[in-house]
Amino acid sequence: MTVSAASTSAPLTALITGASAGLGREFAHQLAAKGVHLVLVARDGDRLDALAADLRGRYTVEVTVIAADLTKTDDLERVAERVEATVHPVDIVINNAGFGVYEGFESSDLADERRLHELLSWVPLRLAHAAVPGMLDRGYGWIVNVASVAAFTPTGTYGAAKAAVVSLSRALNARYRRRGVHVTALCPGLLDTEFHERMGEDHLPRVPKLAWADPARVVREGLIAVRQGRSVIVSDWRYRLLTPLTRVLPDRLLERISTTND
């Protein structure tokens, strides 16, 4: 698996946040299948250990785990130190950890809102800041920031945080792509993962099954996009067809559509 024309022949290493479930778990499997060594990050150490054992058994790769709550400064800095390490450097960073606040803005808990923005926008910035200098020195590297199609719609504070990730990815990719460092915002729509289940059954969007995207396809498209040096990729084809409408429909209509399933 090559990162760029300047890529070394040594095995690559990827660090994945939110690796124990959903897109993070899928990224781990797809990268391990390509011979990429892994550093898996999530809060649940037991789930990480089980996933690491499974990956080692299926693929010939090295897998290490870091149990960390990235909304805690000390834990985040432990992960940033691993990203900055020059011994066995991290070549690929997948910023995937996240959660949602279901309550409306007028009634949500402010501490939850702060945690959401720290995890969804500050953590990707912090880890990118840790990764970029070393990647520039080596002349290659990938960063995938998992955003959302919500970044393009008036969908509350979740969409606002994801919009920040998209903006950051565009800026970094524009600045560093010619120096071999690719930064991509991966923007999926609804995914059949634990994300919505963790918010409770009553919070699951009532939409047709056709609207749910396949996580394996989303990850494949994200890896292709970052290899190509694209700053933003909307995944999958259904959402690529719908996204242009967000530029022409009134915000009030988009907001009404986004809250129809609340």
Active-site residues, by number, are: 158
CA distances from 249 to 69, 160, 182 (A): 38, 18, 32
Print the SS3 string covering 50-87.
HHHHHHHHHCCCCEEEEECCCCCHHHHHHHHHHHHCCC
CA atoms within 13 A on the CB side of 136: 12
CA atoms within 13 A on the CB side of 209: 0
Using the structure block, give the residue that is written with the tokens 């800095």: 77
What is the H or E stretch that residue 41 is in? strand 37-42
DSSP, collapsed to helix, strand or coil, labels residue 249 as: coil
16 and 22 in contact (C-beta within 8 Å)?
Answer: no
CA distances from 77 to 9, 30, 63, 234 (A): 29, 27, 20, 30
DSSP, collapsed to helix, strand or coil, labels residue 163 as: helix
33-72 burial, b at 16+ Cβ within 10 Å, e below that, comes to eeebbbbbbbbeeebbeebbeebeeebebbbebbbbebbe
